[in-house]
Amino acid sequence: MDRTYRKNEKLTVTIEDMGTSGEGIGKVDGYTLFIKDAVIGDTVTCSIMKAKKNYAYAKLQQVVTPSPFRVTPACPAARQCGGCQIQELEYAKQLEHKYRTVRGCLIRIGGFTEEETDAVLHPVVGMESPYRYRNKAQVPVGMRAGKPQAGYYAAHSHFIVPVTDCVLGPKVNGKILESVLEYMRECRADAYDEETGKGLIRHVLIRTGYHSGQIMVCIIANAERLPNEQVLVEKLCRIEGMYGITLNTNTKRTNVILGDKLRTLWGEDAIEDTLVLQKVTQEEDGYRFADTEQEVRFRISPLSFYQVNPQQTQKLYSLALKYAGLTGKENVWDLYCGVGTISLFLAGSAGHVYGVEVIPEAIENARRNAAMNGIGNVTFRTGKAEEIIPAYVEEKRAEGIEKPVDVVVVDPPRKGCDERLLAAILKVQPERIVYVSCDPATLARDLRILADGGYRIREVTPVDQFAHTMHIESCVLLERVSD
């Protein structure tokens, strides 16, 4: 690269890769360009917006030669809306990119060799039909020109792109959102304004049971009451499948969506759903999944974490269970257990499952879920895994038990596992560790620590939970290297 590039300069470039936010990446004489909405394989013209020494952010001007992997997005707002990032890239290519991302993280961040990585990494488990898969929508509401509107934030902003029928969620969400907007207009319930802290309605949260069809709407408001609540209730409870309407109060000036206070306006304060255990078989080109007779019922309240893609969650948990390799006798830990979803999948094949989770309501749900399914061999504890587990290990040591666990399952948030937790796990040396991850970078970091602590990675399988977005979920099996 032998020259400087300037703002507004026009360039022609072919896209070869994709960045972490789904932007296309191409090079001109060694100078790297990041271009939103350009997809791998496109040749495009672009205009530099922000030039740095070695790279620039540029605006897509025209697709000169479209990529063979370019498709027309199913949603007309795909480009403006920040909810999806890669709807214009063919689904098979999305999966291939996610595979390469996981591979890259294991090699670059985890320090595993290419051979080690390729020997354990499976193709991404994708969806047959990657639309209308989400069971949860969390939709911000705002005012524009005096009118309330609902939609999703544009990328890196709080500007609402109006979308009521998101193609990732069920059709009924459109009807629900239109009804809420109609109520807001009729009853002068204005949307909340983040700038001033004034106004009422902040978000609409919708959850739909995949098997049960039960629908829950939770209105998140900057108040404990809404004007003419019964008008809203009358509109919503007419919608087929409506099971509960709740009001959550959040008066804080924060980006956190949900407040702590919840009041039921109509019906139930939670929905129920089931997840069906899958029989997992390995074929030459990847895993196959088939429904079994076994299912687990869950009660899901608006405040608890619950996986958003039930079809793929069934596959993910079934794979985690397969990797756990249980024979009916094992002591298993399920750390970061949420409402006990993985715990209850494991319990049927384990001796005992010990679940740990930081949110008290989730643990309440977990206990109730266990009881509802008649599962007795589980114990749940509220607290931080990195505090509860080291203390538990010490407690057991004092009782003379050196190895209180045979199999550990972890499913941490994006920041990965706390080092204190990994150290405690390594201290007790379980036979197998199953790591369910929603961020390949922190996964690779933690796998290195576990590998250095005496474990060998046996399987790494990404399971696509978030089609059309850049999020990547993976399930990993580690085995203790016998001494």
CA–CA gap between residue 232 and residue 241 (Å, rounded): 16
**Which region, judged by CB under 6 A, interacts with ligand SAH, from 63-71, 239-247, 293-301, 332-340?**
332-340
Contact 476, 110 (CB under 8 A): no
Which residue's CB is nearer to ligand SAH, number 40 or number 434? 434
Identify residues 302-321 at the interface with ligand SAH (CB under 6 A): 305-307
Identify residues 335-364 at the interface with ligand SAH (CB under 6 A): 336-338, 341-342, 356-359, 362
Identify residues 101-160 at the interface with ligand SAH (CB under 6 A): none
Which of 153, 154, 145 shows the shortest CA–CA distance to 37?
154
Which residue's CB is nearer to ligand SAH, number 229 or number 411? 411
What number of residues does the chain have?
A: 483
DSSP-derived secondary structure for 420-471: HHHHHHHHH--SEEEEEES-HHHHHHHHHHHHHTTEEEEEEEEB-SSTTSS-
Tell me the number of residues near ligand SAH by CB under 6 A: 18
Measured in whole angstroms, the distance separating CA 337 from the mean position of its chain's CA atoms is: 14
Q: How many angstroms separate the first and last alpha carbons of the chain?
A: 52
Report the nearest approach of ligand SAH to the CB of residue 409 (Å): 8
Residue nearest ligand SAH by beta-carbon distance:
338
**Coil, helix or strand for 103?**
helix
CA–CA gap between residue 157 and residue 154 (Å, rounded): 6
Report the nearest approach of ligand SAH to the CB of residue 291 (Å): 19
Q: Name the token pair of 42.
A: 């496109």
Identify residues 70-109 at the interface with ligand SAH (CB under 6 A): none
Which residue's CB is nearer to ligand SAH, number 154 or number 359? 359
**Which region, judged by CB under 6 A, interacts with ligand SAH, from 27-35, 199-207, 344-352, 384-392?**
384-392
Which of 201, 203, 179 shows the shortest CA–CA distance to 192?
201
Report the nearest approach of ligand SAH to the CB of residue 330 (Å): 18
Q: What is the DSSP letter of 482?
A: P
Q: In degrees to the nearest 10, what's the CA dihedral of 202, 207, 213, 214?
A: -70
Which residue's CB is nearer to ligand SAH, number 63 or number 359? 359
Report the nearest approach of ligand SAH to the CB of residue 271 (Å): 15
Which residue's CB is nearer to ligand SAH, number 28 or number 359? 359
Q: Among 263, 413, 419, 452, which residue sits at the site for ligand SAH (rule: CB under 6 A)?
A: 413
Q: Active site includes 438?
A: yes
Q: Among 190, 269, 411, 459, which residue sits at the site for ligand SAH (rule: CB under 6 A)?
A: 411
- Residue 195 host element (H or E): none
**Which region, judged by CB under 6 A, interacts with ligand SAH, from 265-273, 324-332, 383-391, 447-455?**
383-391
**Which among 46, 105, 337, 438 is annotated as catalytic?**
438
Q: List, as own/partner pairs, every contact residues 53-59 make where C-beta atoms lie below 8 angstroms and the sequence separation is at least 24, other chains included.
A: 53/4, 54/1, 55/31, 56/5, 56/31, 56/32, 57/33, 58/11, 58/33, 58/34, 59/35
Which residue's CB is nearer to ligand SAH, number 362 or number 433? 362
- Catalytic positions are 438
Chain residues binding ligand SAH by CB under 6 A are 305-307, 336-338, 341-342, 356-359, 362, 384-386, 411, 413
